[in-house]
Amino acid sequence: ELQSAALASTPVAEWATLATSLPILIIQGSDDPITPPANGDGLPDAGHLFPMTHPGETAFQIEDYLGWD
């Protein structure tokens, strides 16, 4: 309900469009009841606040995406 209200109150013209060639990393918690992982695999046993509850796993995902050693 809250997200629907937020979307309804934001005019479409204000939404930013990203270039289709721009790479984007999406990390989601697999057990997130607010934003379920519909766009890919989620972090196992992680909820909505996964950056705080799973900082190591979150950092690993970002480092792997960026190609850092």
Q: What is the pTM of this model?
A: 0.65
Q: What is the pLDDT of residue 64?
A: 92
CA dist., res. 59 & res. 14, Å (int):
31
Q: What is the pLDDT along the chain (69 residues), one digit of tens a residue?
A: 777 887 788 777 777 777 788 888 888 998 988 887 776 668 889 999 999 999 999 999 999 999 986
| Contact indicator for 28, 35 with CB cutoff of 8 Å | yes
Q: What is the pLDDT of residue 40?
A: 65
Closest CA to 36 of 25, 47, 50, 44: 47
Alpha carbons within 13 A on the beta-carbon side of 56 = 0
